[in-house]
């Protein structure tokens, strides 16, 4: 036996509580299929994906990891490594088929992964998955208080088709049930059931009301949160300038009010059965939670403290309708058996001969569980059509046959698949729609008829508007290339890294590009200067184009959040003094200061050389032409602060943005695409609506991006590249003129316009 290669990650943060390993393959790599049948696909069964510890299949492996950072070790061996199960809390072995011969550590929603571990070619492997609590000395950073769990995955060739087996369990295979109270009482009424445990001081058996209230304030609950109403009526819907959207918002408000009323009635009914008053605030839920057994009272210290209780099942305490009892029973069974059911299903999906013939005793030995756990979980799996079980479950040694249920026959086409069409059926003609060359101006809704995009409408447009100039500041391709137009010809100024940018901003000297590979300033001569190597989502340029502010976010066990300001003229750099563990976001930057948002919802104003202070308004935008401020309002709507200090409150959707010049707000709508302008003086009563053309592809949000090139003109991405003659248009809001905007032919998927200086 020889250790061939290793890979380690001390800061792996699982997504959805799931450790994820997948085959790594590059473009053009030939994937070798398994010769003796298809191994399990990813997520083939309606069971908890990871099982109690792990499960695997064709190029994928999952681990039940929970939350928090992990230490993960991947090892490739030439043959089965020594058995050291006694050094671990949980150990299982499972087959793994690799069609590539290389694997990588990734995430549930991750795509192509780094080539982390070379296995030794395509084929069938065994994986021993071991888990235990990590020791502090197993981390490079000794100051980390909680190192989390250590996972070790050992791969070795296995051609004998061994089935999954469990070698060590740190807790029972089945889980505790769900007593159902969370489902009946919902989050608002259940909140103190969770807070009591979190707020308990070290060495105490529970928390007092004062300690719970203090805990809430420390975790951003509002003042007097314990005595606030459990439910509050939603605020009035704010106008968007579109009658259909406003009507839909009003309907949602009515539904929200009806929901609040139903919740209050349902909670009062539960309280009446438990013999306590119906609560109307969080503090008043304490008697209810005690009566339900969710909390228990501890008076041993002379002070009333609340600690977690051991509640009975809600359906065994309350008189509930039969349908509700059945729902809670199923919920309880899922909590108990779903995870372990995935283990049992794994032993069947990897079998080469189906049905699998076994006994309860043999299966219990393979999965390292009691016969009672196996019997109960097989009954659950059969009831949920996860397995077909044949034989006598009551006798531990009686033969059983296990197989996967036959797939249900398809009764209708899947979503997005058109129904079969008879050969004799006439094909509908593709509709065409005119493109106007101009649109009327003035107040009120404009009857601008453009190519009306709808989901699934891929018909070609009719007569098109004229072709106009290229984007004023340039465009970034889907692979990160920066393209600008010189003498009406597109020129690649800088070659990208293969990944798209998050932001592209014109400076006085060139273009700032921020993305997953960091932030770079590319002067007009193309000689780029890399400013930081961390992913950058938030960046802003001062109105004069000289100063750049951006947020540095470093993740990991010791995260760091900092805001930097760089003078692009001389390269001088300043860092905002602040608690680096508190998340900060660059909002905007003017000629004097940087504005940053905090996790508490505040906005700070920072002048280099001084300490940051709370801004006078909750700034969202500052108009670079006039200095007009768009701010969050403490009342429904938004606040516009003019340069002379006068404030205008507008009851419009909080998604609006400030148009250049500071006299208008605009709102983008995506279905159907449109831009709506609100005049700050007249308010939301007379919006001007510009419908936008767009060819909507599946899962596309239209328009994809919008930038203002002047106080009047904006350019919008209105279609995916290669699906529209020109995927961008320019509209003059003064004359209503519409022009197509040429983009480079190699812009790829989701090109990004460079935001110009105004």
- Residue 133, pLDDT score: 95
- Residue 744, pLDDT score: 81
- Can you tell me whether residue 215 is helix, strand or coil? helix
Confidence of residue 666 (pLDDT cuts 50, 70, 90): very high
What is the pLDDT averaged over residues 541-549?
95
Confidence of residue 535 (pLDDT cuts 50, 70, 90): confident
Confidence of residue 692 (pLDDT cuts 50, 70, 90): confident
- Residue 187, pLDDT score: 80
Q: Give the integer Cα–Cα distance in Å for 623 and 334.
A: 54
- Residue 270, pLDDT score: 96
- Residue 231, pLDDT score: 87
Per residue in 256-265, pLDDT (tens digit) is: 999 999 999 9
- Residue 679, pLDDT score: 94
| More confidently predicted of 92 and 203 | 92
Sign of CA pseudo-dihedral 113, 118, 119, 121: positive
Q: Give the integer Cα–Cα distance in Å for 159 and 352.
A: 12
Helices (H), 319-475: 322-349, 360-367, 371-383
Domains and CATH numbers, the chain: 1-170 (2.60.34.30), 181-312 (no CATH), 475-753 (2.130.10.10)
- Residue 109, pLDDT score: 86
CA distances 52 to 252, 438, 516, Å, are 40, 64, 35
Confidence of residue 588 (pLDDT cuts 50, 70, 90): very high
Per residue in 240-252, pLDDT (tens digit) is: 989 998 999 899 9
- Can you tell me whether residue 86 is helix, strand or coil? helix
Per residue in 439-465, pLDDT (tens digit) is: 333 333 332 333 333 233 333 445 678
Question: Among residues 493, 492, 488, which one has the least CA distance to residue 509?
Answer: 493
Is the predicted pLDDT of residue 575 greater than 60, yes or no? yes
- Residue 727, pLDDT score: 82
Question: Among residues 297, 314, 301, which one has the least CA distance to residue 196?
Answer: 297
- Residue 624, pLDDT score: 94
- Residue 458, pLDDT score: 38
Sign of CA pseudo-dihedral 526, 532, 535, 538: negative
- Residue 463, pLDDT score: 67
Helices (H), 5-154: none
What is the pLDDT averaged over residues 535-563?
91
What is the pLDDT averaged over residues 64-93?
95
Asked if 346 and 55 touch (Cβ cutoff 8 Å), the reply is yes
| More confidently predicted of 160 and 170 | 170
- Residue 702, pLDDT score: 55
Asked if 635 and 654 touch (Cβ cutoff 8 Å), the reply is no
- Residue 112, pLDDT score: 59
- Residue 41, pLDDT score: 62
**Phi, psi (5° rounding) for residue 344?**
-65, -40
Is the predicted pLDDT of residue 517 greater than 60, yes or no? yes
**Phi, psi (5° rounding) for residue 465?**
-70, 165
Confidence of residue 64 (pLDDT cuts 50, 70, 90): very high
CA distances 212 to 217, 283, 304, Å, are 9, 10, 12
Average pLDDT, the chain: 86
Sheet holding 90-98, edge to edge: 3-12, 70-77, 149-157, 123-133, 90-98, 165-168
Instruction: Quote the percentage of the chain above a pLDDT of 70.
Output: 87
Full DSSP string of 235-265: PPPPB-S-HHHHHHHHHHHHHHHHHHHHHHH
Per residue in 190-230, pLDDT (tens digit) is: 999 999 999 999 888 899 999 999 999 988 888 899 999 99
What is the pLDDT averaged over residues 92-102?
93
Cα-only R_g, the chain? 31
What are the b/e assignments for 658-690, b being 16+ CB within 10 Å? bbbbbbbbbbbbeebbbbbbbbbeebbeebbbb
What is the pLDDT averaged over residues 579-588?
87
Helix axis angle for 322-349 and 360-367, nearest 10°, is: 80
- Residue 186, pLDDT score: 82
Phi/psi-derived region of residue 310, left when phi > 0, alpha when psi is between -120 and 50, beta in every other case = beta
Instruction: Quote the percentage of the chain above a pLDDT of 90.
Output: 59
């Amino acid at each position: 036996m020889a250790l061939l290669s290793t890979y380690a990650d001390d800061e792996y943060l699982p997504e959805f509580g799931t450790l994820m390993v997948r085959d790594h393959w590059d473009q053009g790599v030939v994937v070798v299929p398994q010769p003796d049948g298809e191994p399990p696909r990813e997520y083939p069964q309606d069971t908890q994906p990871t099982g109690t510890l792990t499960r695997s299949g064709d190029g994928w492996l999952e681990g039940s990891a929970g939350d928090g950072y992990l230490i993960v070790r991947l090892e490739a061996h030439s043959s089965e490594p020594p058995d050291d199960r006694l050094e671990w809390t949980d150990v299982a072995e499972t087959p793994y088929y690799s069609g590539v011969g290389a694997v990588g550590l990734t995430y549930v929603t991750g795509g192509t992964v780094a080539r982390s571990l070379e296995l030794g070619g395509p084929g069938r492997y065994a994986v021993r998955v071991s888990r235990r609590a990590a020791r502090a000395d197993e981390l490079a950073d000794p100051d980390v208080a909680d190192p989390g769990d250590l996972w070790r995955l050992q791969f070795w060739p296995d051609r004998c088709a061994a089935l999954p087996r469990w070698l060590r369990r740190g807790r029972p295979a089945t889980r505790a049930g769900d007593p159902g109270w969370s489902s009946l009482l919902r989050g608002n009424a259940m909140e103190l059931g969770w807070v009591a445990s979190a707020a308990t001081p070290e060495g105490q058996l529970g928390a007092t009301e004062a300690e719970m209230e203090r805990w809430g304030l420390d975790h951003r609950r509002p003042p007097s949160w314990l005595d606030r109403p459990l439910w509050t009526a939603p605020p009035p819907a704010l106008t968007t300038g579109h009658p259909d959207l406003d009507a839909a918002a009003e309907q949602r408000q009515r539904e929200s009010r009806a929901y609040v009323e139903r919740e209050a009635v349902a909670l009062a009914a539960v309280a009446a059965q438990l013999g306590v008053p119906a609560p109307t605030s969080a503090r008043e839920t304490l008697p209810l939670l005690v009566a339900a057994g969710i909390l228990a009272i501890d008076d041993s210290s002379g002070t009333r403290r609340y600690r977690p209780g051991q509640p009975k099942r809600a359906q065994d305490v309350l008189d509930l309708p039969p349908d509700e009892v059945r729902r809670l029973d199923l919920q309880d069974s899922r909590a108990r058996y779903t995870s372990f059911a995935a283990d049992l299903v794994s032993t069947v999906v990897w079998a080469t001969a189906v049905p699998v013939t076994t006994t309860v005793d043999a299966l219990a030995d393979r999965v390292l569980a009691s016969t009672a756990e196996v019997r109960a979980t097989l009954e659950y799996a059969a009831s949920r059509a996860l397995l077909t079980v044949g034989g006598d479950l009551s006798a531990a040694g009686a033969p059983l046959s296990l197989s996967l249920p036959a797939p249900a026959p398809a009764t209708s086409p899947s979503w997005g698949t058109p129904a079969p069409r008879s050969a004799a059926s006439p094909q509908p003609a593709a509709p065409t729609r005119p493109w106007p060359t101009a649109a009327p101006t003035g107040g009120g809704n404009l009857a601008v008829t453009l190519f009306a995009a709808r989901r699934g409408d891929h018909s070609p447009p009719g007569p098109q508007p004229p072709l106009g100039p290229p984007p004023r500041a340039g465009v970034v391709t889907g692979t990160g290339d920066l393209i600008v137009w010189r003498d009406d010809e597109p020129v690649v100024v800088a070659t990208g890294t293969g990944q798209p940018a998050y932001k592209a901003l014109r400076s006085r000297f060139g273009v700032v590009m921020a993305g997953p590979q960091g932030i770079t300033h590319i002067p007009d001569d193309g000689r780029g200067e890399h400013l930081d190597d961390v992913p950058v989502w938030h960046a802003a340029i001062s109105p004069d184009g000289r100063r750049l502010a951006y947020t540095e976010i470093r993740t990991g066990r010791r995260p760091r959040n900092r805001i930097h300001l760089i003078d692009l003229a001389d390269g001088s750099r300043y860092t905002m003094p602040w608690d680096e563990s508190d998340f900060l976001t660059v909002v905007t930057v003017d000629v004097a200061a940087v504005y940053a948002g905090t996790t508490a919802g505040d906005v700070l104003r920072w002048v280099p050389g001084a300490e940051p202070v709370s801004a006078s308004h909750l700034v969202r935008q500052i108009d670079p032409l006039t200095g007009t401020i768009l701010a969050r309002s403490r009342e429904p709507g938004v606040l516009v602060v003019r340069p002379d200090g006068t404030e205008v409150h507008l009851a419009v959707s909080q998604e609006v943005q400030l148009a250049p010049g500071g006299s208008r707000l605009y709102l983008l709508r995506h279905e159907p695409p449109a831009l709506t302008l609100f005049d700050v003086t007249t308010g939301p009563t007379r919006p001007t609506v510009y419908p936008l053309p767009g060819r909507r592809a599946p899962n596309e949000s239209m328009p994809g991006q919008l930038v203002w090139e002047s106080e009047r003109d904006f350019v919008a991405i209105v279609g995916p590249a290669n699906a529209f003659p020109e995927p961008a248009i320019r509209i003059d809001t003064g004359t209503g003129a519409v022009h197509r905007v040429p983009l480079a032919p190699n812009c790829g998927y989701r090109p990004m316009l460079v935001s110009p200086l105004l």
